[in-house]
Chain A
Amino acid sequence: MFDPHLWRRQFPILERKVHRKPLVYLDNAATTQKPLAVLDAERYYFEHFNANIHRGVHALSQEASEAFEGAREKVRAFLGAAHVEEIIFTRGATEAINLVAQTWGRTHLEAGDEILISAMEHHANIVPWQMLCEMTGARLKVIPMDERGVLLMDRVDQLLTTRTRLVGITLVSNALGTVNPVAEIIRKAHAAGARVLVDGAQAVAHVAVDVAALGCDFFVFSGHKLYGPTGIGVLYGKKELLTAMPPYQGGGDMILQVTFEKTTYNQIPYKFEAGTPHISGAIGLGAAIDFVQSVGLENIAAHEDWLLQEATERARRVNGLRIIGTAPGKASILSFVLEGIHPHDIGTILDSEGVAIRSGHHCAMPVMDFFSLPATARASFALYNTLEEVESLFRAIERVQKLFLG
């Protein structure tokens, strides 16, 4: 039996109080809290073998290199990638998407080509493609969604044309919680001759991913939404694609040989990792993956689904509350609005009760436009959240309405 109270002990921050109330942390879609295993792994690295990697012949450097490359192997196994060199460390999902846009994109797109994304993308999976379109003359097209936040899959076939070069699609919507049928989209895209980038930032802490089974060409995620550190993320790319792509940034570690006349680039993954990387972050991410696997992703998903159901039932009983995003099989996100009360005010009043949620456009302004809303309030659940916390959320919502509506 999964007991979140047991796992909570691994997260010291959950014991703190906010405004003299116990912290109820429900902003996990923005970032998750970090377990002791991650904090310890980073600290152990700094206390015992802090050194730069890949260069020194001394013991510390070798130990640091082994830990860094060990983390890469953990990511490979976590994603089900065939080859460890298909795992590129980046600053996060955002940088990973920009990397693909600026290297693969600039060498594969020309005027008249098309990029297809969905109506529920995070700005990180919109703006890099718009920038690429500006540079190349390519066009951005969008798969629409319905009022529940479900993609109109019957429109995909007509949106995929002979000019579609890339499909960028999020696996889980950060604003709505929708889990998209990416396997089907990948099949259709490949049949049309397009490559597919899957944004897994919101997904990896909730949904088991197997990039080999999915067959996606690129997959990106951020460590900090997976109980790991900020500033570290991952780009997975198929080996043959990564090998053919030009480098992203120039600098140390991404080269084999440099003269003032010519530089020979290193092999993948190092070709894309210029400069000293976030070594402690990668080690922390490796520890986070170990932690998530020790808890069991299926246990986490089942627990979060249960919390989401309990929260959704309670939400339906609140007068004037409208849930934004009602797709079947959502992942751990409850976005909502209250009649007559702006989400920003909800956020402040909930905070005064110790309840941390997100209010705003969630970096998905086109989603807000679709629902004709300036913003929503969003509660998002993680493995350490409890039913008592869901109840605290709804007590606090009651207080918001009482204060505002009298």
Chain B
Amino acid sequence: MSDLRDLYQEVIFDHNRHPRNFGPLPGANRHADGFNALCGDKLSLNLKVEDGIIQEARFEGSGCAISTASASLMTEALKGRRETEVAELFEGFHHMVKGEPYTVEMGKLAVLAGVSEFPARVKCATLAWHTLNAALHQADQPVSTE
């Protein structure tokens, strides 16, 4: 195992203790619930999308440090992005946390690259992203990382 500090970086602790964009989002027009059956993490994601651009993204729920920080960082990264960019970003993120090559610019999301050394925790990092995927495709069923 790599150093725990590769996984638990200060930025991650910070976002875990003080998650950004946490709480309800009045006027949201995209929503999905995510659930990690492995550990019981629950996540509720709300988006406000106008003219194909994500104006607001907020989440609620409870989870481990990795899933909370990942959701917090994701909502920050989403604001102002075009809906059509999201699939590419998710793909890049997924490759990054699995330790596979990726070409997308990750910005602050790169602090989660250390997850790739902890395969048991990949699902924690991707829960928010799976939920985002469901919200943008307006899936009726809660998504699961299983």
Q: Is A2 an interface residue (CB 8 A)?
A: no
Please name all residues of chain A whose beta carbon is closer than 8 Å to the beta carbon of B62 when the two chains form the complex. Answer: 342, 374
Contact of B118 among A343, A348, A374, A403 (CB under 8 A): A348
Contact B42 A374 (CB under 8 A): yes
Given A19-B1, A359-B39, A360-B40, also A348-B63 (CB < 8 A): no
Q: Is A155 an interface residue (CB 8 A)?
A: no
What separation, in Å, do the CA atoms of A344 and B13 have in the docked complex?
Answer: 14
Q: Is B7 an interface residue (CB 8 A)?
A: yes
Given A359-B39, A361-B40, A374-B63, also A344-B1 (CB < 8 A): no
Contact A404 B13 (CB under 8 A): yes
Given A348-B7, A349-B4, also A374-B120 (CB < 8 A): no
Please name all residues of chain A whose beta carbon is closer than 8 Å to the beta carbon of B121 when the two chains form the complex. Answer: 344, 348
Contact A345 B38 (CB under 8 A): no
- Chain B residues numbered 1-53 whose CB sits less than 8 Å from any CB in chain A: 1, 4, 7-8, 13, 17, 38-42
| Minimum C-beta distance from B25 to chain A (A) | 22
Please name all residues of chain B whose beta carbon is closer than 8 Å to the beta carbon of A348 when the two chains form the complex. Answer: 4, 7, 118, 120-121
Contact A374 B41 (CB under 8 A): yes
Q: Is A365 an interface residue (CB 8 A)?
A: yes
Q: Is B124 an interface residue (CB 8 A)?
A: yes
| Minimum C-beta distance from B90 to chain A (A) | 22
Given A342-B64, A344-B124, also A403-B8 (CB < 8 A): yes
B68-81 vs A, Cβ < 8 Å mask (1 yes, 0 no)? 10000000000000
Please name all residues of chain A whose beta carbon is closer than 8 Å to the beta carbon of B143 when the two chains form the complex. Answer: none
Q: Is A116 an interface residue (CB 8 A)?
A: no
Closest B residue by C-beta to A376: B40
Contact of A352 among B1, B64, B65, B68 (CB under 8 A): B1
Please name all residues of chain A whose beta carbon is closer than 8 Å to the beta carbon of B132 when the two chains form the complex. Answer: none
Contact A375 B39 (CB under 8 A): yes
Please name all residues of chain A whose beta carbon is closer than 8 Å to the beta carbon of B64 when the two chains form the complex. Answer: 342-345
Contact A342 B1 (CB under 8 A): no
- Interface size (A, Cβ < 8 Å)? 20
Please name all residues of chain B whose beta carbon is closer than 8 Å to the beta carbon of A345 when the two chains form the complex. Answer: 8, 64-66
Please name all residues of chain B whose beta carbon is closer than 8 Å to the beta carbon of A351 when the two chains form the complex. Answer: 1
Contact B40 A365 (CB under 8 A): yes
| Minimum C-beta distance from A376 to chain B (A) | 10
What separation, in Å, do the CA atoms of A365 and B62 have in the docked complex?
Answer: 15
Q: Is A368 an interface residue (CB 8 A)?
A: yes
Most buried by B among A342, A351, A365, A375: A342
What separation, in Å, do the CA atoms of A367 and B39 have in the docked complex?
Answer: 14
Please name all residues of chain A whose beta carbon is closer than 8 Å to the beta carbon of B42 when the two chains form the complex. Answer: 374
Please name all residues of chain B whose beta carbon is closer than 8 Å to the beta carbon of A375 when the two chains form the complex. Answer: 39-40
Please name all residues of chain A whose beta carbon is closer than 8 Å to the beta carbon of B17 when the two chains form the complex. Answer: 340
Most buried by B among A341, A344, A348, A359: A344
| Minimum C-beta distance from A270 to chain B (A) | 37
| Minimum C-beta distance from A132 to chain B (A) | 23
What separation, in Å, do the CA atoms of A239 and B96 have in the docked complex?
Answer: 58
| Minimum C-beta distance from A141 to chain B (A) | 25
Closest B residue by C-beta to A342: B64
Contact B38 A352 (CB under 8 A): no
What separation, in Å, do the CA atoms of A360 and B65 have in the docked complex?
Answer: 14
Closest B residue by C-beta to A365: B40
Given A348-B120, A404-B65, also A343-B39 (CB < 8 A): yes
Please name all residues of chain A whose beta carbon is closer than 8 Å to the beta carbon of B1 when the two chains form the complex. Answer: 19, 351-352
Please name all residues of chain A whose beta carbon is closer than 8 Å to the beta carbon of B63 when the two chains form the complex. Answer: 342, 374
What separation, in Å, do the CA atoms of A361 and B39 have in the docked complex?
Answer: 6
| Minimum C-beta distance from A18 to chain B (A) | 8
| Minimum C-beta distance from B144 to chain A (A) | 14
Please name all residues of chain A whose beta carbon is closer than 8 Å to the beta carbon of B120 when the two chains form the complex. Answer: 348
| Minimum C-beta distance from B117 to chain A (A) | 11
- Chain A residues numbered 340-395 whose CB sits less than 8 Å from any CB in chain B: 340-345, 348-349, 351-352, 359-361, 365, 368, 374-375
B85-126 vs A, Cβ < 8 Å mask (1 yes, 0 no)? 000000000000000000000000000000000101100100
What separation, in Å, do the CA atoms of A122 and B68 have in the docked complex?
Answer: 28
Most buried by B among A343, A360, A374: A374
- Chain A residues numbered 294-353 whose CB sits less than 8 Å from any CB in chain B: 340-345, 348-349, 351-352
What separation, in Å, do the CA atoms of A393 and B8 have in the docked complex?
Answer: 20
What separation, in Å, do the CA atoms of A404 and B17 have in the docked complex?
Answer: 10
| Minimum C-beta distance from A346 to chain B (A) | 9
| Minimum C-beta distance from A339 to chain B (A) | 12
Please name all residues of chain A whose beta carbon is closer than 8 Å to the beta carbon of B40 when the two chains form the complex. Answer: 360-361, 365, 368, 374-375
What separation, in Å, do the CA atoms of A342 and B43 have in the docked complex?
Answer: 14
7 contacts between A and B (CB under 8 A): A341-B65, A342-B65, A344-B121, A360-B38, A374-B63, A375-B39, A404-B8
Known: A345-B65, A345-B66, A374-B62. 4 other contacts (CB 8 A): A349-B4, A360-B38, A361-B39, A365-B40
Interface residues of chain B, those whose CB is within 8 Å of chain A, are 1, 4, 7-8, 13, 17, 38-42, 62-66, 68, 118, 120-121, 124
